[in-house]
Amino acid sequence: MNQSISFFSGFGPKDLWFLPQAAWQTLVISALSISTGTLLGILFGWILSESKIIGAVTLGLVLDAFRSVPLIIQLVLFYNLFNVIGLAINPFWAGVIILAVYTSALVANVARGGIEAVGAPMRRASRSLGMNYLQTIRHIVWPIGLRAVFPSWVGVALGVLKDSALVSVLGHPELLKVARDLITRTQQPLLVLAVAGAFYFALSYPISRYAAHLERKWQS
C-alpha cells in the first residue's frame, strides 16, 4: 500500500477527482449534442427524402460539407465566427452547438436511408389502405425505418461521443483536455491515459456490441 502511494507520488487524491469531473463534462456535451443533433437530423433527413425542391438540394449540399470538413476545423472556425459577429458564447455552448449541427448532418443521412428503406410502394400501399400521411409515418415508416437504421444511428452517436474530445481545442475541460493537463502536471501519463481510455471504452464497447447484436437479430 505504502509502496503504491510513493509510486504515484506526483498524484494527489485531488488530481484523481479531476478525471471523473471531466468525464461528466464529456457525457453532458455528448448527450446534449447527440439528442438535439438527432432531432434536427431526423427533420433534415425527412426534408431530404420528401422534397426534390431547391431547398432540399441546398440543404443536402450544406450537410454534405459538414461531413467533408474535419470537425476540429469546424470547431475553431465557428467558435471564431461567433466571436466575430459579437456573439459572446463560452466554449461549452459553442462546442455543443457545433457538435449538434455536425451530428445532424450525419443523422440526416441515416434518417433518409431509413425513410427510403421503407420504400415508396409500401408507403403507397398504406395510403391505399386509407391511412393519412401522418398515420403512414407513425405506423409504417417510423417502426420499419427505425429498425433499418437504428444500428447505424448508434454508430453515429458513439462517433460523436468520441469526437466530443475535440471540444478541447476550444479550451473546455472535457476528459482528454483534463487528461492532457494532468499528464503535464503530474508526469503520470500511463495512469491518466488508462483512466481516460477506459472511460470511453467502457461506454462505447458494450453499446456497439449491443447494436451489432440487434442488427444480426433483426436481419434474420
Partner 1 sequence: MNFDYTFHWRPVMRKLPDLLEASLTTLQISVLSMIIGITFGLILAILRMNGPKPLAWIATGWVELARNTPALFQLFFFSFGLGAFGLHLTPYFIVLAGLTFNNAGYLAENFRGGFQAVPETQMRAARSLGMTAWQSYTRIVIPQVFRIVYHPMTNQLVWAVLMSSLAMIVGFRELAGETQALAFKTFRIFEYFAVTALIYYVMVKVILGLSRLIAWRMFRY
| In the block, residue with C-alpha cell 454508430 | 155
Quick count: other Cβ atoms within 10 Å of Cβ 118?
21
Binders in 113-172 for partner 1, by CB under 8 A: 158, 162-163, 165-166, 168-169
Residue 195, CA distances (Å) to 3, 22, 169, 189 in order: 20, 11, 21, 10
Q: How far is the CB of 51 from partner 1 (least distance, A)?
A: 24
Measure the CA–CA gap between 36 and 10, rounded to whole angstroms.
41
Q: How far is the CB of 127 from partner 1 (least distance, A)?
A: 34
Which one of residues 17, 24, 133, 205 is an interface residue with partner 1 (CB under 8 A)? 205
Terminal CA-CA length for the chain:
53
Binders in 63-92 for partner 1, by CB under 8 A: 65, 68-74, 76-77, 80-81, 84-87
Q: Which amino acid is at 67?
A: R
What's the gap between Cα 56 and its chain centre? 23
> Which C-beta is closer to partner 1: that of 24 or that of 133?
24
Return residues touching partner 1 (CB under 8 A).
65, 68-74, 76-77, 80-81, 84-87, 158, 162-163, 165-166, 168-169, 176, 179-180, 183, 189-190, 193, 196-197, 200-201, 204-205, 208
